[in-house]
Amino acid sequence: MSGPARVLLVGPPGAGKGTQAFQLAERLGVPHVASGNLLREAMERGTPLGAEVRSYMERGDLVPDEVVVALMADTLTAPDCVGFVLDGFPRTAAQAAALDEMLAAAGRPLDVVVLMEVEEDELIRRITGRRICPECQRSYHMTYNPPADDESCDEDGVHLVTRPDDTLDKLRHRLDIYNREAAELSGYYEQRGFLAHVDGLGSVEDVAERIGKAIEAAA
Ligand code: AP5
Residue 206 scores a pLDDT above 90:
yes
Q: Find out whether the beta carbon of 31 lies less than 6 Å from any atom of ligand 1.
A: no
- Sign of the C-alpha dihedral computed for residues 185, 187, 190 and 196 taken in this order: positive
Q: Strand ranges (DSSP E) for the chain?
A: 6-10, 32-34, 84-87, 112-117, 130-132, 139-141, 195-199
Q: Are 65 and 95 spatial neighbours (Cβ–Cβ below 8 Å)?
A: yes
The answer to whether the CB of 32 is under 6 A from ligand 1 is: no
Residue 215 has pLDDT above 70, yes or no: yes
> Mind listing the pLDDT tens digit for each residue in 102-134?
999 999 999 999 999 999 999 999 999 999 999
pLDDT single digits (tens) 3-45? 889 999 999 999 999 999 999 999 999 999 999 999 999 999 9
Q: Is 75 in the pocket of ligand 1 (CB under 6 A)?
A: no
| Ligand 1 contacts CB of residue 137 (under 6 A) | no
Give the mutation target among 76, 126, 161 for probing the ligand 1 site: most ligand atoms within 8 A of CB.
Answer: 126
DSSP 8-state secondary structure symbol assigned to residue 92: S
- For residue 54, give the H/E element and its range: helix 48-59
Describe the crossing of helices 168-191 and 120-128 by its angle, rounded to 10 degrees.
Answer: 130
Q: Give 137's pLDDT tier (boundaries 50, 70, 90).
A: confident
Atom 9 (ligand 1) nearest CA:
13
148 neighbors 33 (Cβ within 8 angstroms): no
Predicted pLDDT at 218: 87
pLDDT at 209 over 80: yes
Give pLDDT, residue 170: 95
Q: Each residue of 142-194: pLDDT tens digit?
A: 999 899 988 899 999 999 999 999 999 999 999 999 999 999 999 999 999 88
Pick the atom of ligand 1 nearest to 142's CA: 44
Smallest CA-to-CA distance from 204 within 4, 13, 19, 78 is with 19
Using the predicted structure, report yes or no on whether residue 138 has a pLDDT greater than 80.
yes
Cβ neighbours of residue 181 under 8 Å, at least 6 residues apart? 62, 91, 92, 93
3-class DSSP state of 191:
helix
pTM: 0.95
